[in-house]
Amino acid sequence: MGTAQDSSSELIAPIEGQQSPSRQGLDPFTLQEVMRKYRVPGVGVAVIKDFRIDWAKGFGTADVETALPVDVRTLFQAASISKPVTAMAVLKAAQENRISLDADIDAILKSWKLGQSEIANARVTPRALLSHTSGAGDGFGFPGYHPSQPRPTLVQILDGQKPSNVGPVFFERPPFAAFKYSGGGMMIMQLAMMDTVGKPFPEIMREDVFAPLGMADSTFEQPLPSVRDTAAARAHSLQGEAMDAKWHVYPEQAAAGLWSTPTDLARLVIDVQQALRGPAGRVLSQLMAREMVTPVGIGPYALGFRVERRSEGWYFSHDGSNWGFHCRVVAHVRKGYGMVVMTNGDNGAPVINEIEARVSSAYAWDSLDKPIPR
């Protein structure tokens, strides 16, 4: 079903094999049969245990047209998981006093401005933008662009000007009044980083995040360069069929433009977990890592990740959904375990849910989080 890395773990078999009827809530079929059931051609998985990658493996087919198998270095579109990865770079800039998390974003921006009239004289900050509490009102996702289509500049995206295929970013309430998920707010943060650092966004991310973490198979380059495209998965429809293009292009890089692998994203997750243990990770200090997993007080998001309680444990996570791709990262705040799953199908969500349930069961996540009997 694919190739594996660090795959000596005895727990791979109960995850990819048939499930016992006694394991309630799990599909009884093999993982390959589950993928066929939901018509998802390919899946990449990385499982984290004790602050390290326990195993990583590819399942199925990266491209139904070429029958190329998924392996541990197959690239998938990470979609909205781009957002917490971007947040890590912003927090690194804050750690180095290049950006203040609580500064007026208009004081940081140089090539575009919000304008105070848009927000009733309230101050929008990086903290608000990264936690989806800025008051931005865009409720749409980014559909991406066929590779043959013209693509907008970042400013055209923010203003909703052609050839942008979405509306403008606008503000409908003051910051920290309510939570509303906003890809547009993340695009403002991308421009602020570019204005501050004075470099293209993919270069910022490579230098500040990917290189320190050894994420050699990750890039924000859009469109994907041909040298990397040979390792990239194809987008597939709900029926598991090839689309009219191998993938869409996402000039909305910070919100949806990351290409990566489960192994690379697991490295980022582990670095956050290690930093939370202290004194620091490779990228962030313990203080800044806490910003990534501490909700701001309105809504479920910290600066980058969604945070939730399950039983007695606290987890940070993020899902992603692009044209033909679905993916998820989820990890425990304290206990050094988690997983990353990436799929190349529009119906990837139920496969991801099944894999998470199997991993959680096989690794006894829930039982680890139950109080010790007295």
54 phi/psi in degrees, rounded to 5: -75, -40
Please give the Cα distance from 238 to 325 (Å, whole number). 10
pLDDT band at 6 (very low <50, low <70, confident <90, very high): very low
Joined tokens for residue 132: 């989806």
Over residues 340-368, the pLDDT tens digits come to 999 999 999 999 999 999 999 889 997 76
* Cα–Cα distance measured from residue 56 to residue 45, given in angstroms and rounded to the nearest whole number: 6
- Residue found by looking up tokens 């006093």 in the block: 97
Q: Which residue has the higher pLDDT, 373 or 296?
A: 296
Q: List the alpha helices (DSSP H) in 96-141.
A: 105-108, 126-130
Q: Residue 374: pLDDT above 70?
A: no
Whole-angstrom Cα Rg for the chain? 20
- For range 91-103, the mean pLDDT: 97
pLDDT in tens, 130-140: 999 999 988 67
Confidence (pLDDT) at 18: 79
DSSP annotation string for 163-209: T-SS----B-S-TTS-----HHHHHHHHHHHHHHH-S-HHHHHIIII
Ordered domains of the chain (ranges, CATH): 4-369 (3.40.710.10)
C-alpha–C-alpha distance, residues 261 and 44, integer Å: 7
Whole-prediction pTM value?
Answer: 0.94
**pLDDT tens across 32-64, in order?**
999 999 999 999 999 999 999 999 999 999 999
Distance CA 184, CA 70 (A): 32
158 pLDDT band, cuts 50/70/90, is very high
pLDDT at 9: 75
CB atoms within 10 A of CB 120: 10
What is the average pLDDT score of the chain? 92
DSSP-derived 3-state class of residue 320: strand
